[in-house]
Every structure is written in C-alpha cells, then in structure tokens.
Amino acid sequence: MATLAADWLTARLLRRSTTDLGVFLPAGFPSAYADAEVLRTFASRGARLFEIGVPYSDPFLDGPVIAEAYKRALSRGTTMVDVLETVRQVATTTWAPVVVVSYWGPVLRYGGPERFAQDLATAGAAGAMIVDLPLEEAGPWLAASHQSGLTTPQLVSRRASDERLARVCSAASGWVYAPAAEAALTGYTGRLDVEALERFTQRLRAAGSVPVVTGIGVSSPGMARSLRDLVDGVVIGTPAIQPLLEMSPSDGLRAAADRVALFAAALQRPADPANLFRPDYIGMM
C-alpha cells in the first residue's frame, strides 16, 4: 500500500499543469477522534495532499500556533499509535496522499527508523519528512524508508551550496521542501521575497528532478497565487489550524474549511478546454 501511495503522490506533483494544495494538521488535534474528520473535510474543499504532524514537546522549528496545537494533542495523550491510526483513517477514506511530518526524537522513542517506516507503510502513508534530521545522519532512516516503499521528502535551505542541493535532491523522494520564508518559523506572516524563492526553485530543478513544494510563510491566498507557477505544491498549516484553536469545534471547522477552499482556489490555473475530459483533470474537481 505504501508504494502505491508514494507513486500516487509523485504522479500528482509531477503534473506541472497543476499546483496542489497540501494541508498540515497534527495528529490528535483538535481531538483524537476529530483529526481524520477535519482532514476529510479539507479534502472535500480542495486539499490534494496532507501532512500529518507527530506531536512533539519541543517543536523548535514551529511558531506559536502549531506549537499550541501540538501541546493540546499531547495533553490528550496522543501517541505514535494514534498518529498511525489517523494516517490509516485518512489514507483509506480520501484520495489525498499522506506524508507524516516528525522530529527525530519521537521516531527514536517509538523504536527507531525501521519500526517507524514499517508501521507507516502498513498504515498507508506515502512517506515521512523528518524536519530536524541532517542528511549526514539520515542513512538508517533513508534505508528503512526505501525498504518500506516510503518517500523521503527533504527540507532544504536556500543558503545551501549547489553541491549540497544536488546531494539533498538525490536523497529526496516525493518532494524537496523549499521554505517560502527563509529561516522563519511556521506561521510567519511577513513579506515574502518571491524573486529569491524563484531563483531557489530554479536551482533545485537544476539539481534534480524531484518535485518542489513550498510552505512556511504562505499566509494568504494571494501569496499562494503568487507562487503557483514556481512550485508543484503549496502546504499551509497555521491558516487552517488557527480557527480550530480559537473557535468552537463546529465554527472552527467551518472557518478552517473555508480558508482551505480559498487557498485551493488561488492555486487553480485557468482551465485549458483540452484538459477537461482527461481523467487526472477530472480527479482535481
């Protein structure tokens, strides 16, 4: 199942005629039973891939909104077993590929890369991105993921040399993640240097053939629209999570789903009539 999900993820992102919207949500948030339902709702409003976060007590790469969502999930006792169950539910009830996002600590506490990769594959994940694992230390994880048929998206800095970009692209599968806001935490709402991101995506495409996905700082549909011709996917987290933190469950879900729909609409390019009856185009609707 993991290999099929991984192939579907890659096939989606390599269709350069579209830019897919991804949505990040921590497992166990807003509750252990509501997370999968939230993601299914997002799928119905235009999300085409999902990142499911493993709650972590020290998410040093994340801003206050995602950190608070992690905190609430942990306070409810969310474990890696719960993460895997959320993956299973979403993978079996939507067409959206699921990539798990984790810090390295929870992977080690769960039993290491082999067990983590095997159980993700069994749950139906397309892959996993370990956000704080340096490439130089990633050998066991990359080997375990490959053995289990998982993709291994890689987070990469635009300050990296061309040589390092080539190494990262060689190790990556699924996508390379190019932050829209360099050296910023998730939830950044400041100005984006679109020209700098464009130059970086050009370097990444020269370094390898892996799809390019961006996020971190894509705080409005207008920003998403300005990036849609540069990348193969845009992932949002904070804009969808914030209403779930601040409102009642029903109002929060409605507001979050409306935001997802606006981001998805912003990424749509004008329709080419020649595409209207292609199976992959119909699948986007």
Distance CA 201, CA 206 (A): 9
Q: Which helix (H) or strand (E) holds 234?
A: strand 233-236
Residues 2/126, Cβ–Cβ less than 8 Å: yes
Q: β-strand 49-53 against 20-26: which pairing, if any? A: parallel
Q: Which residue among the candidates 20, 62, 119, 232 is catalytic per the annotation? A: 62
Q: How many alpha carbons lie under 13 Å from residue 202 in its C-beta half-sphere?
A: 6
Distance CA 138, CA 153 (A): 12
Q: Is 137 a catalytic residue?
A: no
Q: Tell me the C-alpha to C-alpha distance, in Å, between residue 91 and each of 81, 129, 196.
A: 15, 17, 35
Distance CA 203, CA 261 (A): 31
Residue 125: CB atoms within 10 A of its CB come to 31
Residues 179/216, Cβ–Cβ less than 8 Å: yes
Q: Tell me the C-alpha to C-alpha distance, in Å, between residue 17 and each of 86, 206, 224.
A: 30, 19, 16
Q: Hey, what are 73's tokens?
A: 């999930």
Q: Which helix (H) or strand (E) holds 52?
A: strand 49-53
Q: Is 51 a catalytic residue?
A: yes
Q: Tell me the C-alpha to C-alpha distance, in Å, between residue 44 and each of 72, 142, 157, 245, 257.
A: 25, 33, 33, 21, 9
Q: Which residue among the candidates 51, 82, 119, 232 is catalytic per the annotation? A: 51
Would you name the residues annotated as active-site residues?
51, 62
